[in-house]
Amino acid sequence: MTPKRKQKLYVILGLVALAAIAVGLTLYALRANINLFFSPVQIAAGDAPYERQIRAGGMVKEGSVSRNRDSLDVEFTVTDYVDDLRVHYSGILPDLFREGQGVVVVGQLQHDGYLKADQVLARHDENYMPPEVAQALEEAGYSPADYQAKAAEVGKRLEAEGDGASQN
Band (23; pLDDT cuts 50, 70, 90):
very high
pLDDT tens sequence across 52-71: 889 998 888 888 999 999 99
Mean pLDDT, rounded, for 132-150: 66
CB atoms within 10 A of CB 30: 9
pLDDT at 168: 46
CA-to-CA separations, 73 to 70, 100, 117, 138, 148, in angstroms, rounded? 8, 20, 11, 33, 28
- At 146 the pLDDT is 64
DSSP state of 92: P
Query: Comparing C-alpha atoms, which of 24, 23, 89 is closest to residue 56?
Result: 89
Neighbour tally for 40: CB within 10 Å: 27
Fill in the DSSP letter of residue 111.
T
Give whole-number Cα distances, 128 to 16, 101, 106, 145, in Å. 48, 9, 19, 10
Q: What is the mean pLDDT of residues 77-103?
A: 88
Mean pLDDT score across all residues of the chain = 82
Query: What's the confidence (pLDDT) of residue 5?
Result: 92
Contact 75, 116 (CB under 8 A): no
Q: CA-CA distance, 61 to 26, in Å (whole number)? A: 40
Instruction: Residue 96: name the closest of 131, 134, 128 by CA.
Output: 128
